Chains A and B, each alone.
Chain A
Amino acid sequence: MYIHKRRSNKEIIGGSITKRRKIDGRNQNEHCEATENRVACYRVLDDHGYPIAGTTFDQVDEETAVRMYKSMASLEIMDSIFYEAQRQGRVSFYLTSTGEEGISVATAAALSPHDIILPQYREAGILLWRGFTIQDFANQCFGNEDDHGKGRQMPVHYGSNHLNFFTVSSPIATQLPQAAGVAYSLKMDGKDACAVAFTGDGATSEGDFHAAMNFAAVMEAPVLFICRNNGWAISTPISQQFRSDGVVVKGQAYGIRSIRVDGNDALAVYNAIRAAREMVVREQKPVLVEALTYRVGHHSTSDDSTKYRSLKEIEEWRRSRNPVTRFRKWVESKCWWSDEEEAQLRGTLRKQVLKAIQIAEKIKKPCLEDLFSDVYEQVPSNLRQQEKSLRQTINKHPQDFPSDVPLH
């Protein structure tokens, strides 16, 4: 069925739009199920760590590049040791960033320390870059009294207000509308900083993701949305999560400038984030960066991903598409890194992490009082009453109460 219309640019709601002549869906501008015409991906280094001819990028200086590499390797090592510690029963839960080290570290390197991070949960690399120590990580995982969170959250749910890193909150995508609020606050202050909100591919199905993007666009909020599209949301592959061409097209739908980047290419990520951040702060408008990567590890220690994907697929990404190795090859090609330094880094770091775990294990837990404090700004009478009642119970039955939780 055809509907003939005269071609005209009339003003209608939303601005002037050209009319189309047919309803017929074979119009070449249609893109729905996108198998062809996918959005291109920005990439700088090839799989062997060599710059691809013809790409534009800013070089990273030696100091930054070496620091980036060391952080990525540290994250890789720290993750594997903590994972093992969980398997040994020393830590109750852990979540690795294996395969995605490039994204968090390169992003952290490209941002300013004043930019406020709203993480999902796989962004420990940013904390590492900003100065969270291995001991800090261990303390949080063990929930001891030196933990900044006072032992109240699960392992990996780090938070640090002085490093501008919001405490991780488990429900998916809740941090996205909060990012709009953070950006709003920064905008009111006219600060040279932006809000940086992370999300995974799965989180883009949540209503909060869409509303947050819409808000940020309408309110011209300086938010940098970074989506780590790692192919899997626990056992759900992206083909069952959405049918669009990934996440980058969703930004466009909200009127947000978006770019797709190879998340396993740390140099590309650095460049893309650098440019995006500058755009966000200068123009006070949101930008979406989709970083394509792969979740090499299991979703967390509560998951065994070999149950829903092939070992072959995992190994291929771990071996030949590893972001750490790829960046290492580039850094070595510039003669900024050597095998000796590599061996030394790995040896020292391994010892450091093991030591931190040993120390954290021995530090005592937060005291009983911390069960009731910080619910409100000051402890109210009903909670004091509940604490008193609990202490009475403990006095009567001390043998039923864990011995490593101090009463005072």
Chain B
Amino acid sequence: MGIEVEKKAGFDTESAKEVVKELRASFVAGKTKTYEWRRTQLTAMLKMMDENEPQIVAALTDDLSKPELESSIYEIAMLKNSCKLALKEMKHWMMPKKAKTSLTSFPSSAEIVSDPLGVVLIISAWNYPFLLSLDPVVGAIAAGNAIVLKPSEISPSTASLLAKLVKKYLDCSCIKVVEGAVPETTALLEQKWDKIMYTGNGRIARIVMAAAAKHLTPVVLELGGKSPVIVDSGINLQVATRRIIAGKWGCNNGQACISPDYIITTKDYALELVDSFKCELERFYGKNPLESKDLSRIVNSNHFARLLKLLDEDKVSSKIVYGGERDETNLKIAPTILLDVPQDSLIMNEEIFGPLLPIIMIDKVEDSFDLINYSGAKPLAAYLFTNNKKLKEKFVEKVSAGGLVVNDTTVHLAEPSLPFGGVGESGMGAYHGKFSFDTFSHKKAVLYRSFAGDAAVRYPPYTAGKLRLMRALLGGSIMGIIRALLGWSKP
């Protein structure tokens, strides 16, 4: 009867279709392909960070109670580096690479050209919501694509800040942020993308890949796993402990894909290790770690409940040797160490993603490799602390994981010359540095031939003589070719 009800527009399949249509038109028009466009976007991203650092830190505090230093360094500074590197190297990355040609296709020249893939979808995670959203975007921009970014709804302040900032600083006709949860993500996944990059867990990854399969869309999956730390004796225990703590509780309080998940050490060394942890943890976080400002909180009550379930399991709760305190109101769990948990406990069978650190004991340190390889899923990272050269060699040779670090934890993430990605359950594909550019490109092979040099041997009617010559040509040796021409080789 004329009463207008204002309906809040939900982002549904139609909306998703519209977004993809618009981006595809922009891509086809060539907007994203020019060097200037790419450079402008990356420069704008740097400006965005310079002008909004306090707001970004505030959003991360809101979402995760992330300590300011972690936000400034592990999210903002890392992203700035990524932009700067792309800006510096992009021209070089975009240049075609010459490829060698052989006698078989003489005369010819060949090169490999990097083409953008087109319209790509980036679905990011909640634990490093700023970095894991924009770092892939840097690669996608550098490679010349149009982009939809879907940040995680579990870190809503950062998601909405991203939507605001991207709209303000970047080219909206080519780069869009879509906020939302399962329905919105599902609508996006129904569309045809030229590539999808997903950072998160294995369960959702399977849904993403199955959706991608319908359109034959290639995917990059950055997942996780139980990243083990093997601790040998005869090392500088204090340094090792500090580095493990920095990688575990210093990285979003254990809520990071490459956080040390559990420790493997020998029976003889375990107690010394536990003492060292107790000492350093107190030094870093004080006697009341629940009150320390230098630890992120648990992201939400779901994960809080999940972690308590791991901690309070009967066969596990008696194994706590340090910590265990919790504050439900503020969603905090103190750094907790457990010693000698059973292999069949919950905590040893799912990725912890939190401030609980189980220590497993074995007889000989070499036994740890089989333990890791038989755990059923290849982790994203694996760490070893040792001074034993042979052990290092065996570790590198035998342990399969996305990446390995010896005598430290997590720092390989900051090195752009190393590809960052998983294998098996921990994911597929890699990025960072030039690997980001490559992952969002199609490497197109181009062969240039001339009209001269047309060998009759290629064409029918086929004769024994042609077969002889064909053998020699494919064999690639000049002597072989000469012999064939003279009729001296077998037909």
Do these two chains really belong together in a complex?
no
Chain A interface (Cβ < 8 Å from any Cβ of B):
none
